[in-house]
Copies of this chain bind each other. A is one copy, B any other.
């Protein structure tokens, strides 16, 4: 179990620094037959190469492009809730990279990572949203694979209360190494380290590395029910919860319309979901983590952390795209 935040450390410049795959989302509504016809795993995230990306895009309906990326979404939403956020991730020097840089900067997130020159293009994720609001993601990582330890901004990490990373980084060895190094830098500065498991299949691909990381480097864990069950290879959330409780100081388990469970030692806090109509679940977990961390770094109670997470998630799933479309600062302030 890693050390918790050093109370003697100087007040940080940022509440959260996110590290993740910098991605532009290409979002379109499809029917279930489209998902089946393309042999996709509904609700999951699949890594694809450039050829497969072209193949899917060629048959995809008209789309809208918006900035995405799991940890980037979390930073953008946290900033929209009033937290001070920074983000590290790699785009290319191209039009989609400019779109990504614009959008994250426009919500006040500090984004110091230099773009990749002359390599792969900016990553994109084709997100197919079925009528039930579920999203099926196909990610071409592009310039993201050029993210490694050299892209870690040591000053920003040392100056952030929480370093927050997405599990998707585990699919690239260089990013996984950067991930461990970032955790070490954060802890050396007396800060906290957080991860979201991202995707049950991603956990499945890298289970041993995830288990080891959570035990040795993580202070705050985010996961949904499928992910936490995959991590511990158990069949019930109740079993997973008891295992998580002993391996990580603080964990938040999201349960879709059933809200979330927050675990700290022997303590369990159950928080309901905020009611809303589901249009597109893309970014729901990212938004929950944003609300949770914004409240946590502001010194709020665990229940408030969970409730702000629910509020942010509800806003995100009420429309297409994974970034806030409505100003939640007033509603958020009412929780404090």
Contacts and interface: CB of A to CB of B under 8 A. Distances in A.
A284 interface: no
17 contacts: A29-B325, A57-B102, A61-B106, A62-B67, A62-B76, A62-B104, A62-B323, A63-B66, A63-B102, A63-B103, A64-B64, A64-B65, A64-B321, A65-B66, A94-B94, A95-B121, A95-B122
Please indicate which of the listed interface residues A62, A99, A102, A122 has the most CB atoms of chain B within 10 Å of its own CB.
A62
Contacts of A35: none
A-B residue pairs, 8 tightest by C-beta:
A65-B65, A62-B103, A95-B95, A64-B66, A62-B106, A64-B64, A95-B96, A61-B106
Tallying the copies of this chain within the complex gives 2
A315 B323 CA distance: 24
A60 interface: yes
A174 interface: no
Contacts of A184: none
Contacts of A278: none
A58 B106 CA distance: 8
B321 A106 contact: no
A107 interface: yes
A60 B96 contact: no
Contacts of A66: 62-65
Contacts of A58: 102
Nearest to A97: B95
Nearest to A96: B95
Contacts of A76: 62
Interface in A184-226: none
Nearest to A105: B58
Contacts of A61: 106-107
Nearest to A29: B325
A96 B325 CA distance: 23
A104 B76 CA distance: 31
A316 to B, nearest CB: 13
Contacts of A65: 64-66, 99
A60 to B, nearest CB: 7
Interface in A63-93: 63-67, 76
Given A60-B106, A65-B66, A94-B95, 9 more contacts: A57-B102, A61-B107, A62-B66, A62-B67, A62-B102, A62-B103, A63-B99, A95-B121, A95-B122
